[in-house]
Structure formats: C-alpha cells, structure tokens
Amino acid sequence: MFAPLQNDSFLRACLRQPTEHTPVWLMRQAGRYLPEYRATREKAGSFMGLATHVDFATEVTLQPLERFPLDAAILFSDILTVPDAMGLGLSFQQGEGPKFAKVVRDEAAVAALEVPDLDKLRYVFDAVTSIRRALNGRVPLIGFSGSPWTLACYMVEGGGSDDYRLVKSLMYARPDLMHRILDVNARAVAAYLNAQIEAGAQAVMVFDSWGGVLADGAFQEFSLRYSRQVLAAVKTEHEGVRIPRILFTKGGGLWLDEIADAGADVVGLDWTMNLGQARARVGNRVALQGNLDPNVLFAPPEAVRAQARAVLDSFGPPAAGSGHIFNLGHGISQFTPPDSVTALVDEVHSHSRRLRASL
Amino acid sequence: MFAPLQNDSFLRACLRQPTEHTPVWLMRQAGRYLPEYRATREKAGSFMGLATHVDFATEVTLQPLERFPLDAAILFSDILTVPDAMGLGLSFQQGEGPKFAKVVRDEAAVAALEVPDLDKLRYVFDAVTSIRRALNGRVPLIGFSGSPWTLACYMVEGGGSDDYRLVKSLMYARPDLMHRILDVNARAVAAYLNAQIEAGAQAVMVFDSWGGVLADGAFQEFSLRYSRQVLAAVKTEHEGVRIPRILFTKGGGLWLDEIADAGADVVGLDWTMNLGQARARVGNRVALQGNLDPNVLFAPPEAVRAQARAVLDSFGPPAAGSGHIFNLGHGISQFTPPDSVTALVDEVHSHSRRLRASL
C-alpha cells in the first residue's frame, strides 16, 4: 500500500539500532517560520482550516522536507484535536493560543465527558494516509497527541495558562474528578494514536507539554500514570513492523528515571537536561530525543553549528544499544531564520558522521 | 539600635541549628490576596508609589504578620529596583507585569551600563530600617534582589517574556555583551544587598526567577556564575551576627548540586523537586527552603493541611546539621483565600512540632 522506506535512520535510532548519522527532525518543523507555510495558511483561512483539510495538511507537512534533509516528517495537526472531538469547540484566535468554547470545571461537565466517536477525527486519519502516500517512502511519518494531563490542562483552563490555577485547583480540591477526566483522556488518546498507526503513522509521540508544571508526587499521580496507561494500550507494531512510541515531558528532567520506565521506546528531553547525564541515568532502557534550545537558532550559523556539536558531544559516541534523535527541546519559534535550520541540520548530519568515523 | 529578636527560628533554620518548629514564611506574603494590602495600594496610587514610600512599604510588610504567625518578614519591594536605578525606567502597567522604558539590546546600551549610585536606592534602605524598627524584634527581616541573570532577562526583553527570545538571542549571538551586563549586575546586586544588610536586613535572598529557562551549560555560565559572584561579595555577618544568604533558582532542581556549592547558606526549591531527595543530595551543605505548590492554597483547608504535612514529611525528621524553612515554591497567588494561609501556617507549626516530639 505504501512505498518502501528509503531513509529509516529515525526509526532505527528510536529502536536503539545503529545508524550512519544522528537523525534529526524539529518539533513544529512545518510552521510559521517558513514563508511557504504562511502562504498555505493564508489560503486555508485559519489554523483549523489548515489542519482539517487533507490536501493543505499534506502540503505543509512536506514543506520543510523540500528545504532541509530532515530524517522524519510529523503529521501537521494540533495536540488538542481529541478534546475538540469531545465537543469542547477548539478554535485559535489570531495571535493567541488555542481556546475551547466549553470548559470542564464541575461535576456535571466531568460526568458528561466521553471517549469521542473516532469518526469525528477522520480528517486526521485521512491526513495521515495522504501524507504517508505523498512522502513516498522518503522518511517515516510521526503521528502524535497531547498527553491526558496536557489535554486536561486546556480542557479545564479553557486555553493556555501561566499559573495552571484552575486545573490545579480542581486537582487538589477534587482529585476524583481529575482522575475521571484523565481516564477518559487516556482511553481516547490511546484509541486516537492506534487509529493514526492504522492510517499510516510509523511512530507516535505523546506530548506531555505541561507535565513539568506539576509538583513532585502530583506529576506521578496525575500525569505519568496516564501517559503510562496510553502507552500500555498503543500498538507496539503494525503489520509486523515495530512502531516506536515517544514520550516527551517538557520540564520533566527531574523525573527522568520514572519517565524512562513508562513504556515508551524514546524519551524526549528539553534543553535543561544534560544529555550525557540523561544517557548515564537511563542506560539502554530507552533512546533519547532532543535537546537544543530553539533560541540557539537566533545566533549566527557558526554559533548554531557549535551548539549543535555540543549537544551531539554531550550525548557522546554512539554505542551498541543506545539511540539519539536530534531535536529541539520545544517547538521551533515562528521568528526563526530558515537559514539557521539549514546550518543545524547540516551540522547534525556531518558532525555525527565524524563522531562515528572516529570510533 | 534595634530591639532584640523574640523569634529567631527562621535564622536558626537557615544556619542549620535546631528549632522548636519548622519556620514558615511565604514569598509575596505581603500582597494582593490581602484586602488590607489592596487598600494601602489604593492609597499609594501605584505599585512603585507603594514600594518607594517608606511608611506604605512598612505598613504592607507588616500586614501578613498581623494575620498569621509567620516566622519572618520580607522587605516589600520589587526584584527590579536595581535596573531601575541604572536609569532604565521601571513601571508597572495595570494588570500587566513590569516594563522598562529603556532596553539593553545593543553594544552601545551595554557599554553605557554602570553600577548605579546607591543613593538612588535610598528609599529601599530607608524602608528596611523603618520595617526593622516597626517589627520591634518580632521576627527577622529578609532583604532581597533579583539575580544578575534574572535582571538581565528583564533589561533585554524590556518586561516579562514567555520565550526569552531576545535575551537568549543576545546570549548566544554575543556572549561577550551578555557577560558584561551580568558582571555589572553582579557588582550592583552585591552592593545593594550589602547596603540592605547595613540598613537592618537580617538575611538576604537572591531570586534567580528565570535561571530555570536556561539550557544546561548556559545556566552555569550565565546564571550560576554570577549568583556566585554576588554571594562571594555579600557580607556573611554584620556587627558580629551571622547574615544567612538564600539562593532561589526557580526550575533549578536539575542543578541542585552545583547550586548548593554557590556560596549560599540556604537553597530555595520549587515544587517540582522532591524535598527528601534534595536533602539526600545536598546533605548538610546548605539548609533548604520550600516547596509547596501555591495552587494547593485553592483546595479546602483539610487538603491544604494534608499537603503541608506531605512537604514536612518529605523533608523528614529534623536532625543535627540540617535545616528546613517552609515556603511556597513561588509567590502566593493574588486569588488565594487568606483562610488557606491560616490553615497552612498552623499546620506547618503544629505538625513540625509533632515530628520533633516523636523523635
């Protein structure tokens, strides 16, 4: 049904198999820093217009691959499609983040929550299949979702937050309600990711973007537990092929040991974590993905290259059983000069080849 | 000159000496969650009107002590008084954070920076002396400043930021300029804290509020190095009395070992860090301050008490050479019900006394 894969370095690194270079992709690589993305976005009229239109979603997913020799593509979508399908009404205001028309803050709203009919997310699965076809085997396609906790943050707050006051108030005052939201979310996210895999996703990633705002103890109870529930229910292979699963908790470095045991093949790291120390802590339990500060990309090309080398050197020489996928520690900024990405990707490929040659 | 101290539990805990209970104070304890604060703020007309007026600053500093049996007072001021005295023009817009009229983003602006004439900060030192007199020995008075890096964030960005793009761009593109800013800031902060000590502050705290946004490596080079420079230049005693120095890096848990060696007597922790693990890591090198999530205070009193006990239990039994000061992991929210603070302070005192009795 799909063309055979020409560059499998990303999938191999996820599974801690040897690669000729360190594969690299960038969170939000299809995005506003690219003029061609802004042009397509203009045609689509709105972010959701873009994400829900199969041809547009396919077009923007492939745009960064035309410019940069990236080693993976990631579905163009949003982490909040699942609560939207639950009927909460997702929208994006110009210049602001996501907003939900309905919020989940009381007993009645929590009781009404259900795992959504996956047919409401058909546009996502259609986009996955369309993108996989359009990729034609160039690189693997990654599917994704927000984590149960991260979805809950938006569902309770109604949008972004700088203090997570409402969601944490509910969590501390009514942990029973919070657990019910998280259980529904976990079942929905697992079904959603499995449907993406069936539609053609070759790896999946759980974005626990807001796990790091939780207190020690609360993180384990309200975030990690439900990411683990998702990972336990998501396919590990499809049609005989392994499907790597990535768990990324922004600000989760302190809990790395526990995160590494959550059932993912790959743990994503932000830039606060020393990659060499992380590797020493997880051993060969999981591969690691990360972890350049996206703000490095505002420096001149030579500084970008030096910082890219520092990340690769920090991970250290590739060795049997280890795996590293180069990425940023957060989504690329809309203000990034595309030439910085050219320098970055080139340096990751060339320096990681040199590291292998010197072994 | 000043009345003798009646409750020295905070100072003793800072110096890892035995106390009868775990002392507690709250970051931003004099603040908008108190109706009496809002009334004084109304009279003063603006935040800076409040902070620069000795009588108003004294009044609001003492307000929380009238309601709650807190074990320390903290100077009512702002972390950004030093760059304001450098001529950058600090103001607070209604409903927004701090803003600087001038920003420091290019070679000329960096070259023009100088350690300010401390006379421009006379209003702070006068407030310290006035508050110390008004406290009349009830509890010790803490002075404070932003860290060199945290001040630099605001000086370059011109205000708050959610991505630190401008300050990090400067840091990665022109590290020489960033080092010059940080060196001026470190010298200014040290002189400022020493003048607060001379005016009557009995402990001082460095708020590295934004150290945690830095990448591993960059944190050590651009934040910790300059906090260390400050601590090396700040008095350790005054008129024969020890002056404890506290360093608080929000989001700094991953670097706890290095922070504990920066020269402070006390390390402040946010809620992401497990206090028992932190204690195991630092041993008796420093006392620890923290680390309840301020959002716990939105739960009912019994839940507040349970979470307070969990923090105390996590630190574990007091033992010779250890010290714990109970605090939040960040400033108290303006929406906090004051009754939650009553429950919190009572539980910290009573449970910590029970822990000592059971030894």
Chain A residues near residue B332 by CB distance under 8 angstroms: none
- The C-alpha angle with vertex B151 and arms to B150 and B157, in degrees rounded to 5, equals 90
Burial A148-184 (b: 16+ CB within 10 A, else e): bbbbbbbbbbbbebeebbbbbbbbbbbbebbbbbbbb
Residue from A272, A281, A327 whose CB has the most chain B CBs within 10 Å, to mutate: A272
Residues B61, B56: Cα–Cα separation, whole Å: 8
Average pLDDT, chain B: 97
- The C-alpha angle with vertex B173 and arms to B169 and B177, in degrees rounded to 5, equals 95
Burial B225-243 (b: 16+ CB within 10 A, else e): bbbbbbbeebeeeeeeebb
Nearest CA in chain B to A270: B215
Task: Name B317's Cβ contacts closer than 8 Å, sequence gap at least 6.
Answer: B355, B356, B358, B359
Residues B40, B34: Cα–Cα separation, whole Å: 10
Does any CB of chain A come closer than 8 Å to the CB of residue B96? no
Burial B178-203 (b: 16+ CB within 10 A, else e): bbbbbbbbbbbbbbbbbbbbebbbbb
Q: Are B227 and B148 in contact (CB under 8 A)?
A: yes
- Which stretch of A303-317, B81-95, B149-163 has the lowest confidence by average pLDDT? B81-95
Chain A residues near residue B254 by CB distance under 8 angstroms: 253-254, 272-274
B28-48, pLDDT tens digit by residue? 999 999 999 999 999 999 899
Total residue count of chain B as it appears in this document: 359
- The C-alpha angle with vertex B109 and arms to B104 and B111, in degrees rounded to 5, equals 125
Does any CB of chain B come closer than 8 Å to the CB of residue A212? yes
A32 given a catalytic annotation: yes
User: Helices B175-199 and B165-173, interaxial angle, to 10°?
Assistant: 120
Total residue count of chain A as it appears in this document: 359
CA distance A117 to chain B (A): 34
Taking residues A99-104, what's their average pLDDT? 96
User: Is there a contact between B168 and A271 if contact means CB atoms under 8 Å apart?
Assistant: no
Q: Tell me which of A12, A16, A28, A138 is the catalytic residue.
A: A28
Q: Are A208 and A247 in contact (CB under 8 A)?
A: yes
Q: Which residue among B253, B303, B335 sits closest to A172, beta carbon to beta carbon?
A: B303
Residues B57, B124: Cα–Cα separation, whole Å: 9
Does any CB of chain A come closer than 8 Å to the CB of residue B212? yes
pLDDT band (50, 70, 90) for residue A91: very high
User: Is there a contact between B172 and A303 if contact means CB atoms under 8 Å apart?
Assistant: yes
Residues A154, A131: Cα–Cα separation, whole Å: 28
Residues A209, B68: Cα–Cα separation, whole Å: 37
Q: How many CB pairs under 8 A join A and B?
A: 98
Would you state the pLDDT for residue A258? 98
Taking residues A281-301, what's their average pLDDT? 97
CA distance A62 to chain B (A): 27
Taking residues A191-216, what's their average pLDDT? 98
User: Is there a contact between A272 and B295 if contact means CB atoms under 8 Å apart?
Assistant: no
Average pLDDT, chain A: 97
Report residue B11 as tokens. 């100072």
Residues A86, A90: Cα–Cα separation, whole Å: 10
Q: Tell me which of A12, A41, A105, A245 is the catalytic residue.
A: A41
Q: What percent of chain B has pLDDT over 90?
A: 96
Q: Are A300 and B173 in contact (CB under 8 A)?
A: yes
User: Is there a contact between A299 and B219 if contact means CB atoms under 8 Å apart?
Assistant: no
Tell me which amino acid residue A275 is. Answer: L
Taking residues A49-65, what's their average pLDDT? 97
Burial class (CB in 10 A: 0-12, 13-18, 19+), A359: exposed
Q: Tell me which of B12, B16, B41, B138 is the catalytic residue.
A: B41
Q: Are A143 and A203 in contact (CB under 8 A)?
A: yes
Instruction: Output DSSP code: residue B159.
Output: B
Instruction: Output DSSP code: residue A309.
Output: H
Would you state the pLDDT for residue A93? 81
Sequence-ordered strand ranges (E) for chain B: 73-74, 90-92, 98-100, 141-146, 203-208, 237-238, 241-242, 245-249, 266-268, 287-292, 324-328
DSSP for B11-31 reads HHHHTT---SS--B--TT-SS
Q: Is the pTM of this model over 0.90?
A: yes
Nearest CA in chain B to A162: B162
Chain A residues near residue B169 by CB distance under 8 angstroms: 295, 298-299
CA distance B295 to chain A (A): 6
User: Is there a contact between B295 and A172 if contact means CB atoms under 8 Å apart?
Assistant: yes
Residue from A216, A255, A339 whose CB has the most chain B CBs within 10 Å, to mutate: A216
Task: Name A23's Cβ contacts closer than 8 Å, sequence gap at least 6.
Answer: A9, A10, A12, A13, A71, A72, A325, A326
Residues B210, B251: Cα–Cα separation, whole Å: 8
DSSP for A200-238 reads T-SEEEEEETTGGGSPTTHIIIIIIHHHHHHHHHS-SEE
Local structure of B8: helix, strand or coil: coil
pLDDT band (50, 70, 90) for residue B95: confident
User: Is there a contact between A215 and B168 if contact means CB atoms under 8 Å apart?
Assistant: no
Q: Which residue among A163, A293, A335 sits closest to B215, beta carbon to beta carbon?
A: A293
**Measured between alpha carbons, how far is residue A224 from residues A104, A158, A162, A247, B58 in Å?**
21, 22, 21, 10, 45
Q: Which residue among A212, A292, A303 sits closest to B173, beta carbon to beta carbon?
A: A303
A237-268, pLDDT tens digit by residue? 999 999 999 999 999 999 999 999 999 999 99
Q: Are B248 and B256 in contact (CB under 8 A)?
A: no
Q: Tell me which of B78, B208, B265, B270 is the catalytic residue.
A: B78
- Peptide linkage before B291 cis (omega within 30 of 0): yes
Taking residues B192-202, what's their average pLDDT? 98
**Measured between alpha carbons, how far is residue B189 from residues A281, B116, B192, B220 in Å?**
37, 10, 5, 18
Question: Strand pairing partners for A145?
Answer: A206
Q: Which residue among B218, B253, B298 sits closest to A172, beta carbon to beta carbon?
A: B298
User: Is there a contact between A215 and B329 if contact means CB atoms under 8 Å apart?
Assistant: yes
Taking residues B6-15, what's their average pLDDT? 98
- Peptide linkage before A327 cis (omega within 30 of 0): no
Does any CB of chain A come closer than 8 Å to the CB of residue B335? yes
Does any CB of chain A come closer than 8 Å to the CB of residue B162? yes
pLDDT of A94 strictly over 80: no
Would you state the pLDDT for residue A1? 85
Residues A289, A13: Cα–Cα separation, whole Å: 9
Q: Is B321 left (phi over 0), alpha (psi -120 to 50) or beta?
A: left
Residues A22, A14: Cα–Cα separation, whole Å: 11
Tell me phi and psi for residue B203, to 5 degrees.
-160, 155
Chain A residues near residue B303 by CB distance under 8 angstroms: 172-173
Residues B262, B206: Cα–Cα separation, whole Å: 12
CA distance A105 to chain B (A): 14
Q: Mapped to the 3 state alphabet, what secondary structure does B212-266 carry?
A: HHCCCCHHHHHHHHHHHHHHHHCCCEECCEECCEEEEECCCHHHHHHHHCCCCCE
**Measured between alpha carbons, how far is residue B173 from residues A28, A271, B177, B178, B266 in Å?**
23, 18, 9, 9, 34
pLDDT band (50, 70, 90) for residue A143: very high
Q: Are A3 and A235 in contact (CB under 8 A)?
A: no
Q: Are A127 and A141 in contact (CB under 8 A)?
A: no
Burial class (CB in 10 A: 0-12, 13-18, 19+), A102: middle
B84 given a catalytic annotation: no
B220-247, pLDDT tens digit by residue? 999 999 999 999 999 999 999 999 999 9
A28 given a catalytic annotation: yes
Q: Which residue among B163, B254, B293 sits closest to A215, beta carbon to beta carbon?
A: B293
pLDDT of A208 strictly over 80: yes
Q: What percent of chain A has pLDDT over 90?
A: 96
- For residue A111, count other CB atoms closer than 10 A to its CB: 11
Does any CB of chain B come closer than 8 Å to the CB of residue A329? yes
A154 given a catalytic annotation: yes
Compute chain B's Rg from CA coordinates.
19
Q: What H or E segment, with its residue span, contains residue A180?
A: helix A175-199
Local structure of B146: helix, strand or coil: strand
Burial class (CB in 10 A: 0-12, 13-18, 19+), B310: middle
**Measured between alpha carbons, how far is residue A221 from residues A187, B18, B204, B311 in Å?**
16, 34, 36, 16
Would you state the pLDDT for residue B96? 79
Residues A235, A238: Cα–Cα separation, whole Å: 7
A41 given a catalytic annotation: yes
Taking residues A66-71, what's their average pLDDT? 98
Does any CB of chain B come closer than 8 Å to the CB of residue A169? yes
pLDDT of B94 strictly over 80: no
- For residue A91, count other CB atoms closer than 10 A to its CB: 14
Chain B residues near residue A298 by CB distance under 8 angstroms: 165, 168-169, 172-173
CA distance B216 to chain A (A): 5
